[in-house]
Amino acid sequence: MEAGRLPGRRGNLPERRGTPLACEQRNDLKAMYQSIFQSSTIPILEQVVGFAQARHTVLAGNIANLDTPGYRVRDVSVEDFQRRLAEAIRDHHRVRSATSPGELTTLPERPLAQVAENTKTILYHDDSNVGLEHQVTEMVKNQMQHNLALSIMTAQFRLLQAAISEKS
Amino acid sequence: MFPSLDVSTSALVAPRVRMNAISSNLANMSTTHNEVGEPEPYQPRYVVFQTDTTVGAHGAAGVEVSSVQIDRDAQPRYKYEPGHPDRIREGPYKDHVAYPGINMMTEFTDAMEAARAYEANLGAIEIAKDLAQQTLRILA
């Protein structure tokens, strides 16, 4: 998340410091940052990491309500998120056609299974249907996805670092 | 994304439900009244599993609880207790009390089996997680 916000922060740097940059210089800088960060998969990964964190909160709420009578399992639709992300990437590509060849690699070949349909939890007599095992498994999966996105992001930042410092 | 995790999870839920039934059977080993207070020995519960093909992929299948069967034909244990209020008043088992036909050894063996099954599936989950993490190491 922190790393993912970098583009915005870096973009704001000249204004925040109040450096008297000429207008076209500032635009050049903006264009450079955009070309560095927007042509990579970092913005996509940022979305994935953000989603994983939000979903973790929801799943933690389910576990917290393990013994609450009448509580029904809540979840954020992973499939919906993936679909929207894919759409956004497609739209992005339509506007600025040429992109790096590795850009779409983070997109899964098939969307994640929808949780609501897949988990067949038992409805208990107190009208709650929270299954501890299912929730923990979903959490683990979520964590894996989060870690995957972060690893790819770290690798990309390492590449940038290598380019900036001119050493590998 | 990780179908093996779903399969293993389904196999965590099933032994837990089974363990509930076993606990119930052990707890009611000497229960001579049913849930509405009528004199009737407790009838043991047994959990039936069935394959669940909705989880998993590539031919793998999970497990789900198909039903919890109440063993109505369980032969009660007759114990000679002439002072017991629930004793049988007449017939061949006069002055005996009918206790639930639950074999403690069988129940304990089933409990151990359920616990081992749970552990085994936890192990499988750990391995699946480890595999995924090893895959991540390709990047890092």
Secondary structure (3-state) at B45 = strand
Phi and psi of B12, rounded to 5°?
-90, -35
Q: Which residues in chain B are contacts of A134 at CB distance < 8 A?
A: 9, 13
Interface confidence, given as ipTM, is 0.72
Residue range A154-164, pLDDT digits in tens: 988 888 888 88
Give the nearest chain B residue to A117 (CA atoms).
B54
Q: What residue ranges do the domains of chain B occupy?
A: 3-139
Which helix (H) or strand (E) segment holds residue B80: the answer is strand B77-80
Q: What is the pLDDT of residue A21?
A: 60
Mean pLDDT by 10 residues, chain B (140 residues): 86 93 94 88 93 84 91 89 88 90 93 95 93 81
Residue range A95-124, pLDDT digits in tens: 554 455 555 444 444 444 444 444 457 777
Query: pTM of the full predicted structure?
Result: 0.69
Residue type, B103: N
The answer to whether the CB atoms of B1 and A134 lie below 8 A apart is no
Give the nearest chain A residue to B138 (CA atoms).
A151
Tokens 């609880």 belong to residue: B65
The answer to whether the CB atoms of B16 and A133 lie below 8 A apart is yes
Q: What is the pLDDT of residue A117?
A: 41
Q: Name the more confident of A107 and A132.
A: A132
Which helix (H) or strand (E) segment holds residue A7: the answer is helix A6-17
Q: What percent of chain A has pLDDT over 90?
A: 12
Strands (E) located in A57-122: none
Q: Which residues in chain A are contacts of B52 at CB distance < 8 A?
A: 120
Q: What is the pLDDT of residue A90?
A: 84
The answer to whether the CB atoms of B13 and A137 lie below 8 A apart is no
Strands B45-52 and B77-80: unpaired
For range A5-32, the mean pLDDT: 60
Count CA atoms within 13 Å of residue B64 on its CB side: 16
The answer to whether the CB atoms of A141 and B5 lie below 8 A apart is yes
Q: With contact defined as beta carbons under 8 Å apart, do B64 and B77 qualify?
A: no
Rounded Cα distance between A166 and A79, Å, is: 40
Q: With contact defined as beta carbons under 8 Å apart, do B78 and B97 qualify?
A: yes
